[in-house]
């Protein structure tokens, strides 16, 4: 059942079968990468065709050590031409390449079974919010002028509106005239209260305040 469909000589029928399976599983990989996550159209198209591309390369270099080494070097250069992505995008790329390797060696049933297992695991972990952390945890960034002592400056507000707060980073900006404070906080409710943000604005002179989910890319 999991044997390779490739015989001693590659035929048009087996090539089309492998390519069709690669494209179907590639489209499934692109959908999986975008499930409850933001992805660009270019990434989706790339993931859709990547298994077919890898499969064709494997079919062409099958049995040729020299050609295999040359192709490995060419694939190694691709990373220097690619912008870094999120961990989920990198995982989707590896999934697409693994599917392409399997279909390129003729194991189309194994490729489909492998994709089904990985897709089920990803969907289940996403539905369970695995690794997402607490919904009440936030990263709070507050900018204050240099003449304010940040030690204990917001303790009374934190005690009133937050479960916990921990100062993680202090850095200067604007030629040393401003301090940027980074706190990891636990809210008492899912969204930060407007009264809390207004109180912070009054305390820091109406300078920048950013409250984001923990783990998301910060825009400051």
pLDDT exceeds cutoff 90 at 137: no
Please, are residues 14 and 6 in contact by the beta-carbon 8 Å criterion?
yes
Residue by residue, DSSP assigns 166-198 as EEEEEEEETTTTEEEEEEEEEESSSS--HHHHH
Q: Report whether pLDDT(204) > 70.
A: yes
CB atoms within 10 A of CB 63: 6
Cα–Cα dist 140/214, whole Å = 9
- Residues in the chain, total: 220
Q: Tell me the mean pLDDT in the region 171-180.
A: 91
Which of 22-26, 31-35, 77-81, 158-162 comes out lowest in average pLDDT?
77-81
Name the pTM for this structure: 0.67
In this prediction, residue 218 has a pLDDT band, given cuts at 50, 70 and 90, of: very low
**Residue 57 or 20, more confident:** 20
Whether 42 has a pLDDT exceeding 50, the answer reads yes
What burial class does residue 104 get, using C-beta atoms within 10 Å of its C-beta: 0-12 exposed, 13-18 middle, 19+ buried? buried
DSSP conformational letter for 217: P
Containing H/E element for 209?
A: strand 209-213
Q: What is the pLDDT of residue 220?
A: 41
pLDDT at residue 88 in the model? 83
Positions of CATH 3.30.70.260 in the chain = 137-213
pLDDT band at 39; cut points 50, 70, 90: confident
Least confident stretch, 11-20, 124-133, 145-154, 211-220: 211-220
97, 25 contact by CB (below 8 A):
no
- What is the architecture, at CATH level 2, of domain 137-213? 2-Layer Sandwich (3.30)
pLDDT digit string, tens, across residues 139-163: 999 999 999 999 999 999 999 999 9
pLDDT at residue 209, as a whole number: 94
* pLDDT-based confidence at residue 25 (cuts at 50, 70, 90): very high
Q: Mind listing the pLDDT tens digit for each residue in 55-113?
A: 988 887 776 666 566 666 656 655 544 555 678 888 898 899 899 989 988 899 999 99
Mean pLDDT of the chain: 84
Please give the pLDDT value at position 85: 67
Q: Token pair for residue 28? A: 């499934």
């Amino acid at each position: 059942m999991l044997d390779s469909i490739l015989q001693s000589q590659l035929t048009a029928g087996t090539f089309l079968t492998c390519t069709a399976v690669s494209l179907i599983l590639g489209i499934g990989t692109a959908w999986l990468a975008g499930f409850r996550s933001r992805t660009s159209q270019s990434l989706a198209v790339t993931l859709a065709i990547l298994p077919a591309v890898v499969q064709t390369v494997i079919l062409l270099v099958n049995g040729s050590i020299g050609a295999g080494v040359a192709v490995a070097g060419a694939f190694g250069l691709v990373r220097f031409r690619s912008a870094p992505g999120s961990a989920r995008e990198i995982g989707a790329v590896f999934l697409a390449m693994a599917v392409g390797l399997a279909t390129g060696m003729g194991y189309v049933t194994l490729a489909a079974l492998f994709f089904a297992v990985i897709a089920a695991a990803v969907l289940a972990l996403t539905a369970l919010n695995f690794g997402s952390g607490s919904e009440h945890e936030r990263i709070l960034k507050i900018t204050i002028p240099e003449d304010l002592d940040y030690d204990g400056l917001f303790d009374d507000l934190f005690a009133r509106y937050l479960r916990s707060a921990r100062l993680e980073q202090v850095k200067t900006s604007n030629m040393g005239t401003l301090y940027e404070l980074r706190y990891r906080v636990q809210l008492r409710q899912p969204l930060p209260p407007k009264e809390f943000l207004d109180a912070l604005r009054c305390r820091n002179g109406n300078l920048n305040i950013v409250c984001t989910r923990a783990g998301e890319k910060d825009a400051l």
